[in-house]
């Protein structure tokens, strides 16, 4: 856990905060929205009708059980699409960096990490199709790493957001959604907040193989799709803000997603080691709000610690009462594009015809049972929303005494959370 915080500290320090008045003004929207309405990602995810009862062992079994190894099981259709993109020259074959354990950073060797070929966001290189800035005069709120069921974390934040009638974008970790589907549904249904991808494993994506990136993104898209009536996520944020042109291209070319970073890091994570205080964070936001209105702010916050929520509740009134427009990130761009690739928002129509034949469930070799099922693309809309008694076990080897942080966990979820904690990236 400490390692995770250390990693986050270094990674976040490597990324600029709000660039301020001297920064070169860049276009806010990406140059191109890539294959928007007809993106072949539609064919990669199929409706399962009916979805097994959410939270049941059958439902859990649809998804990776080792949160640090989602690539153990990759639907063949995703691999096929990746390989097509590689063959077509659409995924740059650049150096895959080593993960430098000491620096906690990707290490590319003797190449320019900010060159147009690599363009590592960890080293502040912005690609044309990234989102780092909001439109002028706007503040886009995002909370990362959720959902979590610690009562002082997501639940308290959601209560506050409901009370304030404020939307935010949730960049969610797929394996956390598997653990806490109730909390996920609160964000999606009760708050009507837009949901985006923050990978399954929360690893530093640039250091991973093509296949691991594919699985990290694909499985997170899949579980969101299955719980939201077939919505396909438009936005994703790399853990630690770490992407390069290869990572971006896999997200874009295979799954149609846009990479979102930030320009206003709340540094709420710094509360844990006292490198930040409520006062220091509040002062930073006061400076930003009083500063230039161009570009707008894309704010990074989290939802997995009590500290995160304390920070949110401290700075939110300052933002709300300013003359900036405060919205979720998807709302900032909703006049141009829907919150999702195939739906305008959390309500209303999901484009039915474009969710076509999905991966062959029999193509997988291990015990996860493949992609979600046997739908044929003509599903009638919402998945089952019932979350109920969770019984049964998983095959993970765990120490059940190690769930000190978790509450109200049932057997499969408890098993998974321990795997998550052993993975130690969950709090970054
Ligand atoms: Zn994160």
Residue 338 has pLDDT above 90, yes or no: yes
Quote the ligand 1 centre to 379 CA distance (angstroms). Answer: 33
Quote the ligand 1 centre to 165 CA distance (angstroms). Answer: 25
The burial of 57, by beta-carbon neighbours within 10 Å (0-12 exposed, 13-18 middle, 19 or more buried), is given as: middle
Quote the ligand 1 centre to 271 CA distance (angstroms). Answer: 16
Q: What percent of the chain has pLDDT over 70?
A: 72
Residue 205 has pLDDT above 90, yes or no: yes
182: nearest Cα among 407, 357, 344, 351: 407
pLDDT at position 206, please?
A: 98
User: What tens digit of pLDDT does each residue of 259-297 get?
Assistant: 999 999 999 999 999 999 999 999 999 999 999 999 999
Look up the CATH number of domain 2-37+75-351: 3.20.20.370
Judged by DSSP in three states, 339 sits in coil
8 Å CB contact between 64 and 219: yes
Residue written as token pair 């990776």: 64
Alpha-carbon span 89 to 231, nearest angstrom: 28
pLDDT at position 96, please?
A: 97
Residue 422 has pLDDT above 70, yes or no: no
Judged by DSSP in three states, 76 sits in helix
Please give the mean pLDDT across all residues of the chain.
79
User: What tens digit of pLDDT does each residue of 27-42 get?
Assistant: 455 554 444 555 667 6
8 Å CB contact between 215 and 370: no
pLDDT at position 50, please?
A: 82
User: What tens digit of pLDDT does each residue of 378-407 get?
Assistant: 333 333 322 222 222 222 222 223 322 222
Residue 73: band (very low, low, confident or very high) from pLDDT cuts 50, 70, 90? very high
What does the domain layout of the chain look like in residue ranges?
Answer: 2-37+75-351
pLDDT at position 123, please?
A: 97
8 Å CB contact between 245 and 253: no
Q: What angle do CA 154, 157, 162 make, to 5 degrees?
A: 120
Quote the ligand 1 centre to 361 CA distance (angstroms). Answer: 30
Residue written as token pair 């985006």: 196
Quote the ligand 1 centre to 255 CA distance (angstroms). Answer: 20
Catalytic residue IDs: 144, 302
Quote the ligand 1 centre to 295 CA distance (angstroms). Answer: 23
């Amino acid at each position: 856990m400490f390692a995770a915080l250390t990693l986050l500290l270094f990674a976040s320090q490597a990324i600029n905060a709000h660039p301020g008045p001297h920064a070169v003004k860049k276009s806010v929207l990406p140059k191109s929205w890539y294959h928007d309405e007809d993106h072949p990602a539609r064919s990669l995810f199929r409706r399962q009708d009916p979805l097994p009862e959410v939270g049941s062992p059958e439902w859990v079994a649809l998804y990776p059980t080792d949160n640090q190894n989602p690539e153990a099981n990759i639907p063949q259709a995703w691999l096929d699409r990746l390989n097509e993109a590689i063959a077509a020259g659409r995924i740059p074959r650049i150096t895959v960096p080593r993960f430098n354990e000491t620096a906690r950073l990707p290490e590319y060797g003797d190449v320019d990490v900010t060159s147009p070929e690599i363009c590592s966001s960890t080293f502040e290189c912005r690609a044309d199709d990234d989102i780092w800035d909001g439109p002028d005069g706007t503040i886009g709120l995002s909370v990362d790493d959720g959902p979590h069921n610690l009562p002082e974390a997501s639940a308290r934040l959601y209560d506050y957001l409901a009370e304030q009638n404020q939307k935010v974008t949730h960049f969610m970790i797929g394996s956390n959604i598997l653990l806490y589907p109730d909390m996920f549904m609160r964000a999606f249904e009760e708050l009507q907040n837009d949901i985006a991808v923050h990978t399954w494993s929360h690893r530093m994506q640039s250091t991973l193989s093509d296949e691991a990136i594919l699985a990290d993104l694909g499985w997170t898209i899949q579980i969101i799709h299955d719980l939201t009536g077939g919505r396909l996520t438009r936005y994703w944020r790399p853990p630690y803000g770490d992407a390069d042109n290869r990572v971006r291209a896999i997200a874009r070319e295979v799954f149609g997603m846009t990479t979102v970073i930030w320009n206003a890091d709340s540094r709420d994570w710094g509360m844990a080691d006292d490198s930040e205080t409520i006062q220091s964070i509040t002062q930073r936001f006061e400076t930003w709000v009083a500063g230039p209105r161009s570009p707008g702010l894309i704010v990074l916050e989290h939802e997995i610690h009590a500290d995160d929520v304390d920070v949110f509740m401290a700075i939110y009134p300052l933002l709300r009462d300013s003359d900036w427009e405060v919205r979720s990130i998807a709302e900032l761009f909703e006049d141009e594009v829907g919150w999702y690739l195939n739906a305008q928002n959390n309500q209303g129509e999901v484009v039915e015809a474009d969710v076509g034949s999905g991966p062959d469930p029999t193509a997988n070799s291990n015990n996860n049972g493949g992609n979600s099922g046997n739908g044929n693309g003509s599903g009638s809309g919402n998945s089952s929303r019932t979350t109920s008694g969770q019984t049964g076990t998983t095959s993970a080897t765990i120490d059940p005494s190690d769930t000190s942080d978790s509450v109200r966990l049932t057997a499969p979820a408890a098993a998974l959370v321990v795997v998550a904690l052993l993975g130690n990236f969950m709090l970054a």
